[in-house]
Amino acid sequence: MVSDLDTYLFDLRGYIVIKGALSQGEVGELNAALDEMPSLQPGQWHGRVHAHSYGTNDGLNLQQIYEGGEPFEKLIDHPSWIEHIKFFVGGEGTFDYHHGPLFIDECFAHFRQPGEAIGLHSGGFPPINRNQFRYHGGRFMCGQVNALIALTDIGDGDGGTMVIPGSHKSNFAHPHLDQHRMKQGGASVDGTEGAIHVPMDAGDALVFVDGISHGSSKRTNDGERRVIIYRYGPSWGNFRHGYSPSPELLARLTPERRKIVQPLEQIPLEPGKK
């Protein structure tokens, strides 16, 4: 399911691009669903979807986007990338699969307007368990692997994702990190030595280990960049921002998707009972 070339490039660079991961029909369905949502400001809710920003002039996130309807639920285990995610997160046949094959600790739609960008973050140094890159015992063991799906074409000037290939294995911080890192007031990865822009067509998926140094260029074109990001890790993980899936979502998911959204069944506790 995962080619030798994908395996080699993911190990070498920390990312791969899956061209045409979504059909144009799927892209249109997702964009239409986003268009139907009301305009939100950070902190506001639309049902169980929460508007959020990091406060660094990075754009708007719609967190818990799998609560937004069936088009987003299909992305949970989309066949174009789910086997890649399982392979790179690893853990099959171990305790990492005790509750299920994966866990999504964050999923959101992101909108980037002119003048917005996100600064450089992550990287191999300092080492962090949550987003570590590791190959050990003949298998990948990555703490978090992301699928970033383009819903618009993303080229020069569109505020696209930038990465530093190979930085997931770095033993040192980038010497210019302080200049380009995420911070209040905003920053971008533009001009960072070693960083490249990853062009994408609508429907492409960028699969990358979260330990790679990444961020974005600043959007200078008119219009809007739209992407959806699902972050996957081992089944024993926890939610990054404290969200939880709604009972309604869990009830309508397939068993396979439910095992990824909420791998660990909660034990109901009643006062006075053991």
Segment 55-71, tens digit of pLDDT: 899 999 999 999 999 99
Number of other residues whose CB lies within 10 A of the CB of residue 92: 11
Report the C-alpha gap between 71 and 140 in whole angstroms: 30
Position 85 pLDDT exceeds 80:
yes
Position 268 pLDDT exceeds 80:
no
Segment 167-177, tens digit of pLDDT: 999 999 999 99
Segment 194-205, tens digit of pLDDT: 999 999 999 999
Confidence of residue 273 (pLDDT cuts 50, 70, 90): low
Q: What is the predicted pLDDT for the residue at 158?
A: 98
Q: Taking the model in full, what pTM does it have?
A: 0.95
Give mean pLDDT, residues 249-253.
Answer: 96
Q: What is the predicted pLDDT for the residue at 19?
A: 98
Print the SS3 string covering 140-200: ECCCCEEEEEECCCECCCECCEEECCCHHHCCCCCCCHHHHECCCCCCCCCCCCCCEECCE
Left, alpha or beta for 197 (phi > 0: left; psi -120 to 50: alpha)? beta
